[in-house]
Amino acid sequence: MATPIPMSTLKSGAKIPCVGLGTWEAPKGEVGNGIKSAIEAGYRHFDLAAVYGNEKECGEAFAEIFKSGIVKREDLWITSKLWNSEHRPERVLAACQKTLADLQLTYLDLYLIHWPVAHVPKDEPEQTDSRGFTKIDHVPIAATWAAMEELVAKGLVKHIGVSNFTVALLNDLLNSCKIQPEVNQIEMHPYNQQWDLVEYCQRQGIHCTAYSPLVRVGTVHGLPVNVMTDPVIGKIAEKHKKTPAQIAIRWQFQRMPNISVIPKSTKKERVIENFNVFDFALDDEDLKEIRALDRGFRVCQPIDFFGLPVFA
C-alpha cells in the first residue's frame, strides 16, 4: 500500500498535502502532462497562478483527469493567486472568476494575494513609470483583503491567504481582517530558511508554503547558487540513498510542522522523484547541517521585476 501523503492542518481544520506541484514557467504544451504525471505519482496539491499564463491548459488537464475518474475534484487541493494588477476591490471577483473559468472549476481550495504590491490595471493608458517599471497602484491591502473575504462568502474559494508577506504586513492585516489569512506562501530553501517569519506565522496559526524549494536549480542572478550540487546536501543525500532534490524537499516539512512545499517540474521522472520523499527521515545532525547553510539568499528579487525592495 502507498505511503499516505503527510498533511498539515490549517487554522480552519482543513488539511493541505505537504508536497504539491509548482507550475511557474511550466510551458504550455507541457504543464498539462506534468499535472497528469503528478496525479499518477500521488500528488494531490497543485500550485497555480493567473500570471503564470498556463491556467487554461491546467484546466484542460484537470477536466480530463476528473472525466477519467482517477480522482474527484474533492480529492485535490488547488491553489491560485490574484495578480498585482487586480488588487482594486472591484476587480477581485472578476479575476477569480476568470481563473475558475480557465481551470474549469467551480471553486478553489485556496486563493492567495500573490504579492503585497498593487499595479495599475492593464487596461489603463499609463502603464509604466519613469524607470520603466509597471506603475504602482495605491490600493490598501485591507481593501483587497475584504474583497477576498467576499469570495469565501460567495463559495468561490474555500480558503484565502497571502504570498510574499512580511511579519509587518501580516501583523497589520491581522488587525483589520474578518477572516484571518490561513497561508503565507514564501520563498524557502536551505539558502533562505526564513526562521523568524515561519515562527511568527506558526504562532499566528498561519501555514507556510515554501516556493522555489530547489532554488530554481542552476545559476540565479549570475551566481552559481545550486542546492543540487551543494556538498552538504550531497553528503546527506548519499547517506539516505536519496537525491539532493529529495533532501531539499523532505527538509521543508520535517524541520517544522505546518509547512508545505511545491517543487516545480514538468518532467515525469522528476515529478516522481520529487514526491518520493515519505519513506525516510532526516536525523538531528542532518537538520543541524542544513540549518548552517542559511545565507538569506533570494531567488525572487522584486527590486528587479517591480523596482520595489519589497523585503527591505
Ligand X SMILES: NC(=O)c1ccc[n+]([C@@H]2O[C@H](COP(=O)([O-])OP(=O)(O)OC[C@H]3O[C@@H](n4cnc5c(N)ncnc54)[C@H](OP(=O)(O)O)[C@@H]3O)[C@@H](O)[C@H]2O)c1
Contact 77, 45 (CB under 8 A): yes
> Closest Cα partner for 283 from 233, 236, 246, 228?
236
- Calpha distance 183→121 (Å, rounded): 25
Indicate the residue among 120 and 217 with the shorter CB distance to ligand X: 217
Indicate the residue among 284 and 309 with the shorter CB distance to ligand X: 309
Indicate the residue among 285 and 312 with the shorter CB distance to ligand X: 312
Which residue is nearest to ligand X, using beta carbons?
22
Angle at which helices 244-255 and 231-240 pack, to 10 degrees? 90
User: Closest separation between CB of residue 130 and ligand X, Å?
Assistant: 26
User: Closest separation between CB of residue 34 and ligand X, Å?
Assistant: 8
Which one of 52, 111, 191, 211 is the catalytic residue? 52
Cell numbers linked to 224: 552559481
Contact 108, 100 (CB under 8 A): yes
Q: Residues 6 or more apart from 183 whose CB is under 8 A from it? A: 10, 16, 79, 110, 112, 159, 161, 162, 206, 207, 208, 209
Indicate the residue among 22 and 69 with the shorter CB distance to ligand X: 22
HSE-up (13 A, CA, CB side) for residue 172: 11
Catalytic, 52? Answer yes
User: Closest separation between CB of residue 179 and ligand X, Å?
Assistant: 20
User: Closest separation between CB of residue 166 and ligand X, Å?
Assistant: 13
Q: Which residues bind ligand X (CB under 6 A)?
A: 22-24, 47, 114, 163-164, 185, 211-217, 228, 245, 262-267, 270, 273-274, 300
Indicate the residue among 120 and 248 with the shorter CB distance to ligand X: 248
> Closest Cα partner for 103 from 179, 47, 147, 41?
47
- As annotated, the active-site residues are 52
